[in-house]
Chains A and B, each alone.
Chain A
Amino acid sequence: MLRGVGLEVAEPVPTRILHPVDLDIESATAVAVVGPSGAGKTTLASLIGALQQPTEGSYRFDGQEVAGMSGARLAEFRARDVGFVFQHSHLIDERSVVANVDLGLVGSELHRVERAELCAAALEWVGLATLGARRSAFLSGGERHRVAIARALVKSPRLILADEPTAALDQETGREILELLANATARGATVILVTHDPRAVEYVDAVHRIVDGRLTGGGHS
């Protein structure tokens, strides 16, 4: 739940990046934040994902105030509750698929056997059960996004943030990725898709539009 959350940067010149936003998102639903490039979608997603702190307003996640947390507590929050799927998937190319997925388990106090089981389950869920040992550099674009989704899902987060997950993919692969992300709600995760892909509305429960740093409206799809 966001109340009056906004962001203004002081340097190089004082600039308002995001005007105060009020936004409520139901848990275990999929939501799309859409808008043109430079509208502030990624900024809003970064605030919801606790990658940075807002300069104003209140952000409560499951009753817990996130705005104002220290850097260490924000890191704990991200490690425990947030899974990210970045536009370019951001895999470490030199490492194996399973090692990349394992990165998502940071902060979890698990033995390596349990970690391996969770990674295998996540890879199976995204349809890459047989590619665990492959070096990430040798994956196709679609496979890389699937691995990124597995990495986000492996710790069973309560929130998954996907930033332009279909931007560099062909039609068919894009649909598959959107479907996978939307299905994550069945695992209890709230999914926020930040995208300007019009197809996304078919896979989400609500759409919010943002233009020039202002949330201009939204509704159920």
Chain B
Amino acid sequence: MTWRLRVESVRRLAADAAASLLLRPGHTIGMVAGIALGVAGVVGIVVIADTQQIQVDRQFDLQRSDRVVVRAWTPTKAGFDATRVAAAEQLEPVLDVGEFSVWSRARTVSRTDGTARSSRPVLVADGSGLLATDTRVVRGRSGDSLSTARGPVAWIGERLARDLGLAPGDDLDNAQVLVGDLPFEVVGIIANDEGFGYASSGVLISRKTAVATLGGVGENVRVIAHVRPGSASAVGDNMVAGLDPYRELMLEDVTPPDGKVLLSNVGSDLRRIGAALGGFMGLIGMITVANTLMMAVYQRRRELGLRSAMGWKRRRIGVLVLTESATAGIVASTLGVGLGLGVAVIWSHVQHWELILAPWLPFAAIGSGLTASLVGGIIPAYLAASTPPMTAMRS
């Protein structure tokens, strides 16, 4: 057979398939609607999920990890070696590094007359620790004086100050608080609007003061470094090794998960959900195609028997049904992509989201719809091909 006749043969098969679909509008619409809705559902979900992920991305961007937290599990009264901490500050991605520990998670804090009692954290930090955590001294003595502070002096968080009745404009001279039964002179007010908001509710003292007045070695003793985004993991490893080479403090990098990792996990979860839904809808599409085509084949037994009697080979009859299935699948998938995109566009518009559409998605959706319809058409095609030519004579 020449190529021209082959083309003619394929054209006739396609025309036959198209005619069969058009001549049975009820079946065709049912089949196309089933696939189209499945594809539309998948496209809509994937596009909305992708679009939603961008919104999540923006939220996570705000929380991206740019702090390294190294915790000492066996702290000592001496704390961290200042020389080694200074060496860590020399690392290129490190902006600031210093101690910012929670000496006690909850201590009773009150006014000197014993009123306004509440349970508050007691923090121990140095000036670099305040810088590394973006903890600001909003009033009073600078944080640099923490390393030289002697005696029972403390900085208190601005929320605590408010709770204790210390008005913003009040003079700090002679201001005092009780931590437990111990009186501390208030020398400054601190605040933190970033990830260490508890500093605004607590009491901050120097390490020397803590050891001398409160005793113990601290509950959560940490060095915190403010680093450039993306370098937290590498700096953390370096700090663990550099700050405690002999493993006396049992340091551990307890930096919170990087936002990018979390984001990647969230994106992966969304894609998995999309894939599961896509697979489920693909299965429904396949069943719809198989069911509709099997009904059509049953109703067309006389016609298929006639074609067989006329000399159509089994393979050509099977291919005819598969061509019908594929044609319906392509039309339905194209409609489904349009419908799904339309829903996604409207939804994104309503939510004021920026629509994200992967360029490959429409092609993948049409390919999946075509595959589902072809797989769904296999059994009906086999049944059609098995129609004996005697059916024409007997019917």
Quick one: which of A103, A109, A163 contacts B393, CB cutoff 8 A? A163
Q: Would you call A206 an interface residue if the criterion is a C-beta within 8 Å of the partner chain's C-beta atoms?
A: no
Contact B307 A106 (CB under 8 A): yes
Q: A84 and B8: CB pair below 8 A?
A: no
C-alpha gap A86/B314 in the complex (Å): 21
9-residue interface stretch from B84-92, B375-383, B384-392: B384-392
Q: Is the CB of B311 within 8 A of A80?
A: yes
Smallest beta-carbon distance B69→chain A, Å: 75
B1 touches A109 (CB 8 A): yes
Number of A-B residue pairs at CB separation under 8 A: 79
Q: Which residues does chain A contribute within 8 Å of B314, judged by CB atoms? A: 71-72, 75
Determine how close the nearest CB of chain B comes to the CB of A213; give it in whole angstroms. 16
* Contact among B23, B302, B307, B393 for A51, CB-based, below 8 A: B393
Residues A99 and B389 in contact, CB atoms below 8 Å apart: no
B contacts with A: majority SS: helix
Interface pair A52/B388, CB less than 8 Å apart: yes
Judge whether B5 and A111 touch: CB under 8 Å.
yes
Is A78 touching B389 in the complex (CB atoms < 8 A)? Answer: yes
**In the complex, A103→B316 CA distance in Å?**
13
B126 to chain A, nearest CB (A): 89
> How far, in Å, is B10 (CB) from chain A's closest CB?
12
CB B5 to nearest CB in A, in angstroms, measures 5
Q: Does A6 contact B (CB under 8 A)?
A: no
Q: Is B128 an interface residue (CB 8 A)?
A: no
Q: Is the CB of B306 within 8 A of A90?
A: yes
For B390, the chain A residues whose CB sits under 8 A away are 46, 51-52
Is B352's beta carbon under 8 Å from chain A?
no
Closest Cβ–Cβ distance, residue B242 to chain A (whole Å): 80
Instruction: Select one of B1, B302, B311, B388 contacting A78, CB under 8 A.
Output: B311
Partner of A104, one of B8, B310, B313, B389: B310
A112 close to chain B: CB less than 8 A: yes
A48-84: which residues lie under 8 A (CB-CB) from chain B? 49, 51-52, 71-72, 75-80, 82, 84
In the complex, are the beta carbons of B311 and A94 less than 8 A apart? no
In the complex, the answer to whether B5 meets A79 with C-beta atoms within 8 Å is no
Q: Which residues of A contact B19 (CB under 8 A)?
A: 94-95, 99
- A residues 81-138 near B (Cβ < 8 Å) are 82, 84, 86, 88, 90, 92, 94-95, 99, 103-104, 106-107, 109, 111-112
**Cβ of A42 under 8 Å from chain B:** yes
A42 x B393 contact (CB < 8 A): yes
Contact A84–B310 (Cβ < 8 Å): yes
Q: How many residues of B are counted as interface, with CB atoms below 8 angstroms from the partner's CB atoms?
A: 27
A residues less than 8 Å from B310 (CB atoms): 78-79, 84, 103-104, 106
Query: Whole-angstrom distance between the alpha carbons of A119 and B306 in the complex?
Result: 18
A75 touches B302 (CB 8 A): no
Q: How far is the CB of A46 from chain B (nearest CB, A)?
A: 5
**Residues of chain B lying within 8 A (CB to CB) of residue A78:** 309-311, 389
What is the 8 Å Cβ interface bit string for chain A, positions 1-37, against chain B (1 contact, 0 not)? 0000000000000000000000000000000000000
A62 → chain B closest CB, angstroms: 17
A84 pairs with B309, CB closer than 8 A: yes
Given known pairs A103-B306, A104-B310, the reply for A94 and B23 (CB within 8 Å) is yes
B327 within 8 A of A: no
The distance from the CB of A76 to the nearest CB of chain B, in whole angstroms, is 7
In the bound complex, residues from chain B placing their C-beta under 8 Å from that of A86 are 306, 392-393
The reply to whether B23 and A46 form a contact with Cβ atoms under 8 Å apart is no
Please report the C-alpha to C-alpha distance between residue A99 and residue B15 in the assembled complex, in whole angstroms: 11
Interface residues of B in 176-205 (CB under 8 A from A): none
Q: With an 8 A cutoff between CB atoms, is B312 at the interface?
A: yes
* A155 → B minimal CB distance (Å): 9
Q: Kindly report which residue of chain A lies nearest to residue B24, judged by CB atoms.
A: A94
B206 on the interface (CB 8 Å rule)?
Answer: no
Residues of A within 8 A of B395 (CB): 88, 90
Q: Which residues of chain B have C-beta atoms less than 8 A from A42's C-beta?
A: 393-394
* A-B contacts besides A86-B392, A111-B4, 4 pairs, CB < 8 Å: A46-B390, A75-B308, A90-B302, A92-B306
Q: Mind listing 25 A-B residue pairs with CB under 8 Å?
A: A42-B394, A45-B393, A46-B393, A75-B308, A75-B311, A75-B312, A75-B389, A76-B311, A79-B311, A80-B311, A84-B309, A84-B392, A90-B302, A90-B303, A90-B392, A94-B23, A94-B24, A95-B19, A95-B23, A99-B19, A106-B310, A107-B311, A107-B312, A111-B5, A112-B12
Q: Pick the 9 closest A-B CB pairs, nearest first.
A: A79-B311, A94-B23, A78-B311, A51-B389, A75-B313, A106-B311, A109-B5, A90-B306, A51-B390
